[in-house]
Structure 1
Amino acid sequence: MAATDRAGLGAPCWVSLLTGDLTAAQNFYGAVMGWTFRKGSLGEGFAVALKDGKPAAGMGDVATRMGVPVSWTCYFAIDDADLVSSRVRERGGTVAVGPLAVGKGRVVLAADPAGAVFGFWQGENLPGWRIGGGEAPAWLELRTRDAFAMAMFYGEIFDWAVDRPDRCEVRYEDEAVTVRAGGSTVACIRGGAIEADPDPRIRPRWHVYFRVDDVEKAVESALGAGGAVVSEPSHTMVGREATLRDPQGGLFTVTEGSSC
């Protein structure tokens, strides 16, 4: 997360894989997503995944050191890390890490009241990177117990739905809460997940959807690279998709759809 552009405040501005083995993660996602990699600006143990030469996502070899599961984490753009951290605590969430000074910005890792982990970033963002763009993820989805309650939580900490052009707007449609920025849907919040359920697909968490040209080919590549299929390829309202697990446990969905 470094460069010269500002995302709309409260909007997703980056996704990063917290992994335990950076080389293994690069090998897997290179095979499945066709990504190449360059060294990240944060030093050894960090990398930026590139699609067609443009940044798609980040990776950090930090899961073991931080004592957290391997997972994809989404970050939201904010202008005051201290203020948003206070809002998280006041509304029943947890600030796990930060605010930490990173490069020319500040980063925080937190969890919402239902336990879903997310991050937020105060600083400049990669120019041109946006959810739904050609290189970035297709969209993000919060799978949680009570979509309305979590929409209220995130709306209050990120100032969603305020009457300002630089903020996200929130709508309820198709039995989900959708978050829009710049006229495009960037995230969905869906209810029904159960925190204690042994199936990791339905524990409260932010989930990343990556667009691919061919879901079956991506599934085949994932299996060949040591991953697993959590949800078999199927047709949904937005297109064909499958949920996969990388060899270290990171969950993500590949989709041929364009929006949630």
Structure 2
Amino acid sequence: MTARTTTQRPGTPVWRDFWTTDPDGTAAFFRALFAREVEPGLIAVDIPAGDPDLGGYTTAQIDGRHVFGIGPAMPCGVDVSAVFLATDDADGTHAKALELGATEEIAPTTVPDHGRFSAVVDPAGALVAFYESHGMLGYGAVDELGFPCWQDLLTPDVAAAEAFYGELFGFTFDHQMAPYSVAQLGQDGIFGIGPLEAGEEALWVQYTLVPQLDPVLAKAKELGASQVGEVMELGFGRSAHLTTPAGAAFGLFEGSEEMREQAEQG
């Protein structure tokens, strides 16, 4: 279990937003999904009503710690989940991303008392955001129940993604599980890059840690979510890739017993 109380190294995932045509429905979906009635080991998520001054934007919380945001869709009207990568200089990172072939979605913007962010579509077609903290650090923990525990960039052009993120943040890449690769800062694995078929749409999927996958997955589908592919049976746990009823990607992950014991030991 890892609480986050300081800013993170550039390139580290620090936040996720669901930009949606149905903020109220998306909030209701996650309230119903991450609830103790679904799986007793879950820590219930609190999602207050959105702030009208921020277009209805709201932040999901567990025990007062931030987990993810829900806000209005971009002008294109497509529901997406945006993974935010830390930066010490949102303007500089944004400019460099454009130089490396990304397309601007949101120019660098300041959110008072929180930070500065921007969003681009990377050269392989995946939406990604950058975040420079000026107060709000991002999600309050990783590898704790209800919080993020991993993220994958799924793309039809792994080489282009590695070139872009490697140049942008200095990642190196571990190919021991090729064709899947792991982006690293030093010896630390930060996110995975998985191949898609040519013509498939690139996207980020961030996984939430749950005590048991099956009851949460069943509830998600009962609530209108769609499952993408099969449950992945991994040596260290089990994962599922889904979309919300409105169409934004998210994932669920159940760690192995050994992994859970390691997490409990810190």
Contact 2:124 2:160 survives alignment (8 Å): no
Q: Work out the CA distance in 1 between the residues paired with 2:176 and 2:171.
A: 16
Confirm whether residue 143 of structure 1 aligns to residue 150 of structure 2.
no
Confirm whether residue 76 of structure 1 aligns to residue 85 of structure 2.
yes
Spell out, residue by residue over 1:1-35, the C-alpha distance to the aligned partner (whole angstroms, 9 max, x if none).
xx973111221111111111221111111111232
Q: Paired residue for 1:220, among 210, 218, 227?
A: 218
Amino acid in the other structure paired with 1:171: D
Q: Work out the CA distance in 1 between the residues paired with 2:196 and 2:226.
A: 24
Decide whether aligned partners of structure 1 residues 188 and 77 sit closer, same or farther in structure 2, where only a CA change above 3 A counts.
same
Match of 1:93 in 2: 102
Unmatched 5+ stretches in structure 1: 162-169, 198-202
Contact 1:143 1:193 survives alignment (8 Å): no
Confirm whether residue 110 of structure 1 aligns to residue 138 of structure 2.
no
Deviates more, 1:223-232 or 1:109-118: 223-232
Match of 1:200 in 2: none
Contact 1:20 1:248 survives alignment (8 Å): yes
Confirm whether residue 152 of structure 1 aligns to residue 158 of structure 2.
no
Confirm whether residue 208 of structure 1 aligns to residue 206 of structure 2.
yes
Match of 2:194 in 1: 190
Deviation at 1:241, TM superposition (A): 2.4
Number of aligned positions between the proteins: 241
Match of 1:179 in 2: 183
> What secondary structure does 2:54 align onto?
coil
> What secondary structure does 2:228 align onto?
strand
TM-score, normalised via structure 2 length: 0.79
Contact 1:129 1:135 survives alignment (8 Å): no
Spell out, residue by residue over 1:159-214, the C-alpha distance to the aligned partner (whole angstroms, 9 max, x if none).
335xxxxxxxx4333113323458643311123443x23xxxxx211111111112
Amino acid in the other structure paired with 1:119: A
Match of 2:263 in 1: none
Contact 1:142 1:189 survives alignment (8 Å): yes
Q: Work out the CA distance in 1 between the residues paired with 2:138 and 2:217.
A: 31
Q: Paired residue for 1:36, among 43, 46, 50?
A: 46
Match of 2:262 in 1: none
> What secondary structure does 1:96 align onto?
strand
